[in-house]
Structure 1
């Protein structure tokens, strides 16, 4: 319990927050503060994560403008039915509770984004498929052996995270959803039955040979630190993996996928796997990325839901955009040949420099599939092709030099083919790569 949060609660109780549109309270709450209703005229986003709540008031709908509700890291055992009465509520986050039961009555009519990661859910109501605006569904780290067949009706569903559950098969309807673009299913029996490429070629690197320095970055799956690798004193990056379930799945599955991906010019090279960490923590040693590289985009916002946020100043020449598109198509084709879908092919997971060199990172949503050419394999790969189509559209929107009408027509045609609703009619990444290579170099 920290002073800033207590001050926020004190301000709420003193009536000093009138007119705010967002309220964040994390101060050991065991009951919903009734003073929140005094913000009914303005409150749109309510974040009560990190408390000890197990229920919400039946009259929550008295917050008529409430669009977003976060109640992660609390003590809920069921999704509160009162949510279903909130007319404008479209985003619900109840990650890391102890939820076993999801009543149909808890699903609001405008539901667009549902986060139930890291709970104890074994069944979802059929009524989930009656929420036509549903776009993003986060269910990793539960006990689901089946998904409601009614989800086949969710024509706008673009992102599904079902990693670390109990699914023994992927339902056929899932692989035909016209808008599905980002799918993560690692850590289910259906995925673990796949033979993963032997990774004996990845060397073990003793922890004692690494001298850690500054933190370079931190995400849901772990911390990346700069390090010196002895005895050659080579500068490297070390990713130390966390053990907890993330929104994508298990960090240890991510590490396995990084190793199995092998080497490619558009992947960050894995130097080896760390052994002998004093706490037994899993870690990889990777190439240190040159400082000229930067993220292509930022994560989606609450409003954009499944679409990245680009800096308005981000513009490319045709040469740079084509180089990036070719690189990403090439590395995606490489991964598919190795039986891996990335699951999160997005601008925010791509590093690029001014020359158009690029690296695809973050394997947190990666899953393994059979390398044999089956309908299921083809569908899984073409779902990822749609992600490339979205990315290609984002690149096209930002080309400001060198793009002729003919080339634009070719690229827009490719983008449309990648995003068409008929999953198996989309091109493979080999076809995409070949078409991009056929465009004359500017």
Structure 2
């Protein structure tokens, strides 16, 4: 983190990224002294209400974060920033998004947790748009012009006021990760499954070390009834980029039992601050994340360590496990919404677990064009994962097997959504390979 004193003293000359969190109420004009080098500007966590009209003087600016400020409108000056590709204005009080605020090279737009009721038609006229994060607003519709965004891969529209998913959305050729929970259009979670969940009193749990923390909650190791080691996830109340943490909890519960899912032991009751939480199986420490989160540069693609390599047996065990659990979820009327390597835990034998249900949504279990399309969108996510595994196999795969798997991967990712195979077919083909 940088300081205003450093900036004003000229000590930051030549930097490419500036992070300022210091209660700003006005944009520091000294930032313009960095115009020859500045590419990433992070002003999140301040008290800003506006940006200068001449922001375009920052000619190299590619990424701008202004989350957790006091903006009521997306600043129109952003549209004049010709190099700007990523904009993040999460958790402001934005009600209006003017067309003029959308830069021509816009690739990644984050407007989560605001008060937006409408989006301009011009949003669909940004051909590079790849990620669109709109959870936690007041949208009743999406601009039909988004049907032109053939590169759009990830869209988060959870916790809005949408009464239907537009038909064009389900035909977008690159759409891969979709979250829409918490809208009037969504099928409800299985009430019987929620009611049947074991209730575990908070008094029976003894929290131990913290295992991790994500946008939706904190996970601790814990002792249950003084005898059983478990994991406890306590959910936060805030809106995440994917949607509501409570929707995530419902999806975890209703997902049911599968060898490639983290088992839910029960729901916590009687927390002193009435915090929602789940008790889950404790994962063996030999498991690790398959990949890291996408970077600013990779946008929608996971980052793998340079030395990540698999034998064919391990890679195919991972692929088969994830295809199998995705098939299981779809039968329960659940799309995971975030089927990614960074949400998969694996060990050296190829055993794997699919986690993080923050983007999960419910759909009808009956067969229809809509449910089929929703499932095939997720098949594309699996296709991308399969391609990433294939790139990293260093032994044990015959030329014939590779051709067959590459063919399956291409069919999973083909632009015609309904022409993609379903997960039952994917599982059969993987088991036959």
For normalisation by structure 1, the TM-score amounts to 0.97
- Residue 278 of structure 2, aligned match among 270, 280, 284: 284
- Residue 386 of structure 2, aligned match among 386, 389, 392: 392
Following superposition, the deviation at residue 195 of structure 1 comes to 5.5
Q: Give the corresponding residue for 1:73.
A: 68
- Residue 139 of structure 1, aligned match among 134, 145, 152: 134
Conserved in 2, the CA contact under 8 Å of 1:197 and 1:338? Answer: no
- Listed one character per residue, the Cα deviations across residues 200-255 of structure 1 (whole Å, up to 9, x for unaligned) are 33100000000001000000000000000005x10000000001100000000000
Following superposition, the deviation at residue 33 of structure 1 comes to 0.1
Alpha-carbon distance in structure 2 between the residues aligned to 1:202 and 1:167: 29
Query: Which secondary structure does the structure 1 equivalent of 2:175 belong to?
Result: coil
**Root mean square deviation of aligned Cα:** 0.9
Query: Which secondary structure does the structure 2 equivalent of 1:190 belong to?
Result: coil
Q: Give the corresponding residue for 1:312.
A: 306
Alpha-carbon distance in structure 1 between the residues aligned to 2:181 and 2:155: 12
Alpha-carbon distance in structure 2 between the residues aligned to 1:166 and 1:332: 27
Q: Give the corresponding residue for 1:42.
A: 37
Conserved in 2, the CA contact under 8 Å of 1:164 and 1:186? Answer: yes
- Residue 434 of structure 1, aligned match among 403, 428, 431: 428
- Residue 407 of structure 1, aligned match among 401, 412, 419: 401
Query: Which secondary structure does the structure 2 equivalent of 1:280 belong to?
Result: coil
**Residues 335/94 of structure 1: CA separation in 2 closer, same or farther (3 Å cut):** same
- Tell me, yes or no, if structure 1 residue 199 matches structure 2 residue 209: no
Q: Which region of structure 1 is more displaced relative to structure 2, 201-210 or 297-306? A: 201-210
Q: Give the corresponding residue for 1:239.
A: 233
Q: How many residues align?
A: 433
- Residue 148 of structure 1, aligned match among 143, 146, 157: 143
- Tell me, yes or no, if structure 1 residue 338 matches structure 2 residue 332: yes
- Listed one character per residue, the Cα deviations across residues 375-407 of structure 1 (whole Å, up to 9, x for unaligned) are 000000000000000000000000000011100
Q: Give the corresponding residue for 1:255.
A: 249
Query: Which secondary structure does the structure 1 equivalent of 2:132 belong to?
Result: strand
- Tell me, yes or no, if structure 1 residue 128 matches structure 2 residue 123: yes
Alpha-carbon distance in structure 1 between the residues aligned to 2:8 and 2:26: 14
- Tell me, yes or no, if structure 1 residue 326 matches structure 2 residue 314: no
Q: What stretches of structure 1 move > 4 A for 4+ residues in a row?
A: 192-197
Query: Which secondary structure does the structure 2 equivalent of 1:284 belong to?
Result: strand
Alpha-carbon distance in structure 2 between the residues aligned to 1:104 and 1:370: 36
Alpha-carbon distance in structure 2 between the residues aligned to 1:260 and 1:405: 41
Conserved in 1, the CA contact under 8 Å of 2:189 and 2:250? Answer: no
Conserved in 1, the CA contact under 8 Å of 2:193 and 2:253? Answer: no
Following superposition, the deviation at residue 266 of structure 1 comes to 0.1
Query: Which secondary structure does the structure 1 equivalent of 2:193 belong to?
Result: coil
Alpha-carbon distance in structure 1 between the residues aligned to 2:25 and 2:196: 52
Conserved in 1, the CA contact under 8 Å of 2:40 and 2:64? Answer: yes
- Listed one character per residue, the Cα deviations across residues 250-281 of structure 1 (whole Å, up to 9, x for unaligned) are 00000000000000000000000000000100
- Tell me, yes or no, if structure 1 residue 221 matches structure 2 residue 188: no
Structure 1 alignment gaps of length 5 or more:
none
Following superposition, the deviation at residue 198 of structure 1 comes to 2.8
Structure 2 alignment gaps of length 5 or more:
none
Q: Give the corresponding residue for 1:420.
A: 414
| Counterpart mapping for 1:67-216 below 5 A | 67-192=62-187, 198-216=193-211
Alpha-carbon distance in structure 1 between the residues aligned to 2:180 and 2:206: 35
For normalisation by structure 2, the TM-score amounts to 0.99
Q: Give the corresponding residue for 1:275.
A: 269
Following superposition, the deviation at residue 199 of structure 1 comes to 2.5
- Tell me, yes or no, if structure 1 residue 360 matches structure 2 residue 354: yes
Conserved in 2, the CA contact under 8 Å of 1:196 and 1:368? Answer: no
Conserved in 2, the CA contact under 8 Å of 1:195 and 1:370? Answer: no
Conserved in 2, the CA contact under 8 Å of 1:292 and 1:353? Answer: yes
Query: Which secondary structure does the structure 2 equivalent of 1:384 belong to?
Result: helix
Conserved in 1, the CA contact under 8 Å of 2:181 and 2:247? Answer: yes
- Listed one character per residue, the Cα deviations across residues 120-177 of structure 1 (whole Å, up to 9, x for unaligned) are 0000000000000000000000000000000000000000000000000000000000
Conserved in 2, the CA contact under 8 Å of 1:227 and 1:238? Answer: yes
Conserved in 1, the CA contact under 8 Å of 2:136 and 2:160? Answer: yes
Alpha-carbon distance in structure 2 between the residues aligned to 1:140 and 1:292: 34
Alpha-carbon distance in structure 1 between the residues aligned to 2:344 and 2:315: 13
